[in-house]
Structure 1
Amino acid sequence: MTGFIPHGPGDRARTPSNDTSAAPATHARTLAGQARALAEGEVSAQALVERALAHIARTQPTVNAFRLVRAEAALAEARAADLRLAAGERLPLLGVPVAVKDDMDVAGEPTAFGCRGDFPPKSADSEAVRRLRAAGAVIVGKTNTPELGQWPHTEGAAFGETRNPWSAEHTPGGSSGGSAAAVAAGIVPAALGSDGAGSVRIPAAWTNLVGVKPQRGRISTWPEPESFRGITCFGPLARTVADAALLLHVVSGRHPGDRHIPPAVDVRSAATRDPGRLRIALSFRPAFAAVRHRLDPGVRARVLRIAERLAALGHEVAEADPRYGPIGLTFVPRSTAGVREWAERVPQARLLDPRTRANARNGLLLGGGGVQRLARAAEDPLRRRVGEIFRRFDVVLTPTTAVPPLRIGALSGLGSWRTDEAMITACPYNWPWNVLGWPGVSVPAGFVAVGGEGEGLPVGARLSAGAQSPVGAQLPVGAQLLGPADSEPLLISLAAQLEADQRWYERWPPEPGRQG
């Protein structure tokens, strides 16, 4: 049995009342740590799942990370995992509790993708979920996402507001904000999200996590041959690079119906491999998107510090910008066509946000064959143009976002254009890599002091900022490592080297988010 949470913060997920103290806090820290503890008999899968479910119950009224909780089903799967472990079976994640974003199908559960309405249960797992189960993982629930994953916050009439474990006044980002909040709060050690314009990388940056946008097709999007006309992919959110690489490893692979099938790469061992001496381009100039760009000084300072640390680790770092050209002209037709396709599946379309309906109308205009063929045909020239930078450099380093986390409600009440303007102003660095289909990794860059009315917000969003943050509050931001096609192993190796230097996983949000 599952618990579907229709309005979020006011509803508590159904969880068992059993005492969960049998699962030591150390086992809750990492994905690999939990898997190892289970394999060595130090803890049971039932204890870990009970602990995760109890933590959901404690944090759902505040953090509100979950749209749906699979309490009874997850406990049954945990007990089955314990029997398999006792019989000597070993799988990479056997018995480990994880979460998935609510744009992925889980058999027997609805896939609402942030929308209101009565959604029927799915008859089969999506391919990524199937692979997650094949690795032995226990899916405790499906996490919140804004309507059809369109915005860099996680708020909506269907479930309320998902809040950042580092500050209840701020968003964890989006659109994979529920998955990020669940990991940052310590509910699960890792979760799957999806990234169509930074939707894994943005919440990773704003919750002090590692977020991987893999090469297009690395993780199957089946039952969709491709998602949002090829710009969206699934990706892991985790506290450590090794955990992100492990999750990416177990869910990677093709389905016969996939449109995009990249060559196989070894991401898991990359997390323990020295990247060698690399040439790194530091870039603060985003692609042109017809809106004014302003990089928050605190974010800039944190990314510069990451560049300095990379130089201290022996890499050659120099300022240089990719030549993006008119890349935005290929993004909008595909993204809005994807919104239209999803909107047509919603049981009660009248319940959709007016901005969703506007985007769906644009998708109808831009989703025709001629426009889509032009958008696809532009990819190869754009890859050649942007890829010129990789003749001189191995990796591009940018901010993940231009500002610290937005305040809850910052984008509420805005029309479609003002929402898009505010969104692109806050998050201008991610979406070009979705057009190119290339991989990127967001890593924690440190914390920025914020405080005062509307701090860190795009001008168009400040009227919705709400109450002031405490002056001097510290919120996380991120840096983005970007590479050419199939460069996940290189990016993961570099991120792991930086992690060993920065040790960002040691810093946790305050109670009630932290699981102790």
Structure 2
Amino acid sequence: MSGSFRQSAAALAEAIGSGRTSAMSVMEATLASIAAYDAVQPQIWISRASTDDLLSQAHAVDARVAAGEHLPLAGVPFAAKDNIDVAGFETTAACPAFAYRPDAHATVIERLTAAGAICVGKTNLDQFATGLVGTRSPYGIPRNASNLAYVSGGSSSGSAVAVAAGLVPFALGTDTAGSGRVPAAFNHLIGFKPTKGRWSTEGLVPACRSIDCITVFTDDTDGARLVDQVLAAFDPADPWSKPLADRNLAAKVIGVPRREQRLWFGDLESEYLYDDALKKLAELATVVEIDMAPLQEAALLLYNGPWVAERTAAIATLLKENPDAVDPTVRTVVEAGWDKSAVELWSGIYRMAELKRHADGLFDQIDMLAFPTTGTTYRVNELLAAPVALNSNLGAYTNFVNLLDMAAVAVPAGQRANGTGFGITLIGPADSDRALITAADAWLSAAQLPPPPPLDLEGRMQTVKLAVVGAHLEGMPLHWQLTSRNATFIGAFETAPTYKLYAIADSVPPKPALVFSEEGGAAIKLEVYELGVA
């Protein structure tokens, strides 16, 4: 399989609405793609609609189109994270003991289906949306679509993989700490996280109800923009909903973290990819370094402060009556909320108000932020060995966004040698959603990124990219080690100016060693080659 629908939801809806294709033919192709990918990762789903039901819904959409009805999402298949209510499906939040069957759609599902979209199924997630990794579910571990050895990111793991595998043009996720952005980065996707209250959360199983957002994964900004047009509206049934507003941004000045504040967790490849992204951003706008310490402080309060008690409150009855039903790692995280006091809560609220005032002031100096979405990625086995610490690393650039009432769009920004995606996130003040999507358009046009690698269907990569320095460069004594393996030259580059190049003692010919150095470093010439793994 190659993924039939790695295309814009907007383009597909236009084709169906104009009669150039039909919802029925699209659904038949979707069902074939889903069935084929079941041989690779059936665990991305928790439940799916029956074939007969989906074909019946597609037939109904075709009838509506034939009757002249304008449907913004005519016949577009989509998936929904299984903490969002969809009538006819159980809602599990990846916990069988918690499962219930809702009487009605969540508001977002109601609006999407009214616009002609068809929900094909409910996707897997980190239980109770607690995690950025995708490894905390009794329904299995969704893995990165480009390299099955690596995490998909979470908690919206199944939704991201469903889009990355080409099964649906868009999928709903949720985002409290980064769950709609981290999986987007790892799987070469757009991850749009709207301003709190822009999309209704009525019918969502809460994680931290005061900051939860429903999000969307797409392959392009047109799809994200169209879904936002359908879903952005005030919902009187949702106490957290707010009247729709749109704030214009010029996107002329972009803030990035100071170099010494950037967190890479030893991942030099991510550092290089971010530096490369900044060079491209500098062609679009003025890039200025900002002090991200207040943002980091806010991020730490999400799990180390009283906000974790909001997660405890969300599943308090289950924790009291059936604690063993909760994933052990999720339980460890959430039960910490029992120890938080009202005094800690109010102290945290006061401090967060101060940090928000500082963050709001940033946007008097800059138009938006462009942060790495994550500083690194991990293999599944690495995550399982250290589930809390490594998960925390993945939230370094995401945890503060909802707490400080910001909007964000995660966009692809490169590809790691292992095939997984590296991304940056454009972050703006509340209500800058549409301006951020427009800025994402500009970024993607300037970046000119290659298409994502082929899907990993067998748990292995066919090729890897390798960066070499020193004696391995073309014309140098060890270059034959690349040519003898039929390596393909990709390009010549330079590192960030934070490295030193050494010759390994007593090696003949002298073998190169590249070492990170915060002081006294230089930009080192390197070449990138692609090699077969066999």
TM-score bracket for the superposition, by shorter chain length: 0.7 to 0.9
Correspondence for 2:454: 509
CA–CA distance in structure 2, aligned partners of residues 118 and 390 of structure 1: 42
Correspondence for 1:17: none
Once the 2 structures are TM-superposed, how far is the Cα of residue 442 of structure 1 from its aligned partner? 0.9
Q: CA 1:132 to 1:287, structure 2 compared with 1: closer, same or farther past 3 Å?
A: farther
Correspondence for 2:238: 258
CA–CA distance in structure 1, aligned partners of residues 54 and 435 of structure 2: 35
Question: 1:34-45 maps to which residues of 2 (within 5 A)?
Answer: 34-45=12-23
CA–CA distance in structure 1, aligned partners of residues 430 and 261 of structure 2: 19
CA–CA distance in structure 1, aligned partners of residues 19 and 259 of structure 2: 51
Once the 2 structures are TM-superposed, how far is the Cα of residue 238 of structure 1 from its aligned partner? 0.5
Correspondence for 2:138: 158
CA–CA distance in structure 2, aligned partners of residues 225 and 109 of structure 1: 14
Once the 2 structures are TM-superposed, how far is the Cα of residue 387 of structure 1 from its aligned partner? 2.4
Correspondence for 1:196: 176
1:324 to 290, 294, 300: 294
Correspondence for 2:373: 400
1:61 to 39, 45, 57: 39
Residue 358 (str. 1) matches residue 338 (str. 2): no
With structure 1 as the length reference, what TM-score do the two structures score? 0.81
Could you tell me whether the CA contact under 8 Å between 1:226 and 1:258 is conserved in 2? no
Could you tell me whether the CA contact under 8 Å between 1:229 and 1:335 is conserved in 2? no
Q: CA 1:505 to 1:293, structure 2 compared with 1: closer, same or farther past 3 Å?
A: closer
Once the 2 structures are TM-superposed, how far is the Cα of residue 157 of structure 1 from its aligned partner? 5.0
CA–CA distance in structure 2, aligned partners of residues 491 and 370 of structure 1: 37
The aligned amino acid for 2:45 is: F
Q: CA 1:266 to 1:190, structure 2 compared with 1: closer, same or farther past 3 Å?
A: farther
The aligned amino acid for 2:147 is: S
The aligned amino acid for 1:408 is: V
Residue 167 (str. 1) matches residue 147 (str. 2): yes
CA–CA distance in structure 2, aligned partners of residues 266 and 201 of structure 1: 21
Residue 32 (str. 1) matches residue 2 (str. 2): no
Once the 2 structures are TM-superposed, how far is the Cα of residue 40 of structure 1 from its aligned partner? 1.4
Could you tell me whether the CA contact under 8 Å between 2:6 and 2:163 is conserved in 1? no
CA–CA distance in structure 1, aligned partners of residues 453 and 229 of structure 2: 26
Name the SS for the 2:282 alignment partner: helix
Could you tell me whether the CA contact under 8 Å between 1:179 and 1:237 is conserved in 2? yes
- Amino-acid identity (%): 31
Q: CA 1:266 to 1:139, structure 2 compared with 1: closer, same or farther past 3 Å?
A: farther
Once the 2 structures are TM-superposed, how far is the Cα of residue 188 of structure 1 from its aligned partner? 0.3
CA–CA distance in structure 1, aligned partners of residues 456 and 261 of structure 2: 39
Question: 1:84-483 maps to which residues of 2 (within 5 A)?
Answer: 84-117=64-97, 119-223=99-203, 228-265=208-245, 276=250, 278-283=252-257, 294=265, 296-313=267-284, 315-324=285-294, 326-328=297-299, 330-332=301-303, 333-342=306-315, 344-345=317-318, 349-366=323-340, 369-404=342-377, 406-414=378-386, 419-449=387-417, 473-483=418-428
Once the 2 structures are TM-superposed, how far is the Cα of residue 183 of structure 1 from its aligned partner? 0.5
Q: CA 1:485 to 1:49, structure 2 compared with 1: closer, same or farther past 3 Å?
A: same
Name the SS for the 1:411 alignment partner: helix
Once the 2 structures are TM-superposed, how far is the Cα of residue 226 of structure 1 from its aligned partner? 6.9
The aligned amino acid for 2:34 is: I
CA–CA distance in structure 1, aligned partners of residues 205 and 132 of structure 2: 25
CA–CA distance in structure 1, aligned partners of residues 280 and 449 of structure 2: 14
Once the 2 structures are TM-superposed, how far is the Cα of residue 369 of structure 1 from its aligned partner? 4.6
Once the 2 structures are TM-superposed, how far is the Cα of residue 343 of structure 1 from its aligned partner? 5.5
CA–CA distance in structure 1, aligned partners of residues 259 and 399 of structure 2: 13
> How far does the alpha carbon of each residue in 1:111-135 deviate from its partner, in whole angstroms, 9 at most, with x for none?
1112233723111111111111121
> How far does the alpha carbon of each residue in 1:189-245 deviate from its partner, in whole angstroms, 9 at most, with x for none?
111100111101100000000111111111111146975142221111111111112
Could you tell me whether the CA contact under 8 Å between 1:183 and 1:238 is conserved in 2? yes
Once the 2 structures are TM-superposed, how far is the Cα of residue 277 of structure 1 from its aligned partner? 5.5
Once the 2 structures are TM-superposed, how far is the Cα of residue 348 of structure 1 from its aligned partner? 5.2
Q: CA 1:50 to 1:285, structure 2 compared with 1: closer, same or farther past 3 Å?
A: farther
With structure 2 as the length reference, what TM-score do the two structures score? 0.78
Q: CA 1:400 to 1:199, structure 2 compared with 1: closer, same or farther past 3 Å?
A: same
Correspondence for 1:491: 436
Could you tell me whether the CA contact under 8 Å between 2:132 and 2:153 is conserved in 1? yes
Could you tell me whether the CA contact under 8 Å between 2:4 and 2:33 is conserved in 1? no
Higher strand share goes to which structure?
Answer: 2
Correspondence for 2:479: none
Could you tell me whether the CA contact under 8 Å between 1:132 and 1:251 is conserved in 2? yes
More deviation, 76-85/347-356: 347-356
Query: How many residues of Structure 1 are paired with residues of Structure 2 in the alignment?
Result: 452
CA–CA distance in structure 2, aligned partners of residues 423 and 511 of structure 1: 23
The aligned amino acid for 1:375 is: G
Could you tell me whether the CA contact under 8 Å between 1:235 and 1:248 is conserved in 2? no
Could you tell me whether the CA contact under 8 Å between 1:200 and 1:213 is conserved in 2? yes
Q: CA 1:157 to 1:209, structure 2 compared with 1: closer, same or farther past 3 Å?
A: closer
Once the 2 structures are TM-superposed, how far is the Cα of residue 284 of structure 1 from its aligned partner? 5.4
Once the 2 structures are TM-superposed, how far is the Cα of residue 247 of structure 1 from its aligned partner? 1.3
CA–CA distance in structure 2, aligned partners of residues 83 and 32 of structure 1: 20
Task: For structure 1, list consecutive stretches of 5 or more residues without a partner in the other structure.
Answer: 1-20, 450-472
Could you tell me whether the CA contact under 8 Å between 1:340 and 1:359 is conserved in 2? no
Task: For structure 2, list consecutive stretches of 5 or more residues without a partner in the other structure.
Answer: 459-534
Once the 2 structures are TM-superposed, how far is the Cα of residue 356 of structure 1 from its aligned partner? 2.4
Could you tell me whether the CA contact under 8 Å between 2:411 and 2:425 is conserved in 1? yes
Could you tell me whether the CA contact under 8 Å between 2:76 and 2:118 is conserved in 1? yes
The aligned amino acid for 1:62 is: V
Could you tell me whether the CA contact under 8 Å between 2:93 and 2:125 is conserved in 1? yes
